[in-house]
Amino acid sequence: MPSFKDTNGREWLVTLNVAQVKRVRERLGVNLADLQEGNLLTRLADPVTLVDVLFVLVQPQADENSVTDEQFAASLGGDTLSSASTALLEALCDFFPQPTRLMLRKVLAQTQARQADAVTKIETEGDELIRTALDKAMKVKTLQVASPTGD
């Protein structure tokens, strides 16, 4: 079962079933089961929406531990937010039957591999990429300032 820890060290289990999908849809207007629209991942990329969805999913656990939605949100950020997002995506994969589950797992694995590649590229080539981008930005700015027509 997917899980994550918040900044206070509390572990949260993320499961998804039809009742929870319904509760998220009714409370937040987010349909976790709708893969056809294509905007679910975009909506979940917003950290506020992501945390709201997560809280609805873990609310029974939060109630047991007297954790409010604001306390829950305050305990997520940075790496904990990333772990929470991954747990939700894994639970989302688990929710669907085969072959959809298999396809979603492959998409998730490819996404994680690309993110890891991007981190490696930043670590190995980041300084040069930043230097090149800054040089381009400075040249554009210099050309704009020096333009006799004021363009």
Mean pLDDT of the 50-72 span? 97
Read off the pTM.
0.73
What's the pLDDT tens digit per position in 77-100? Answer: 999 999 999 999 999 989 988 887
Are the C-beta atoms of residues 3 and 14 closer than 8 Å to each other? yes
Are the C-beta atoms of residues 105 and 90 closer than 8 Å to each other? no
Closest CA to 76 of 23, 10, 2: 10
Rounded (5°) CA angle 83-61-108: 30
Model confidence at 72, pLDDT cuts 50, 70, 90, reads very high
Domain limits, the chain: 3-95, 97-151
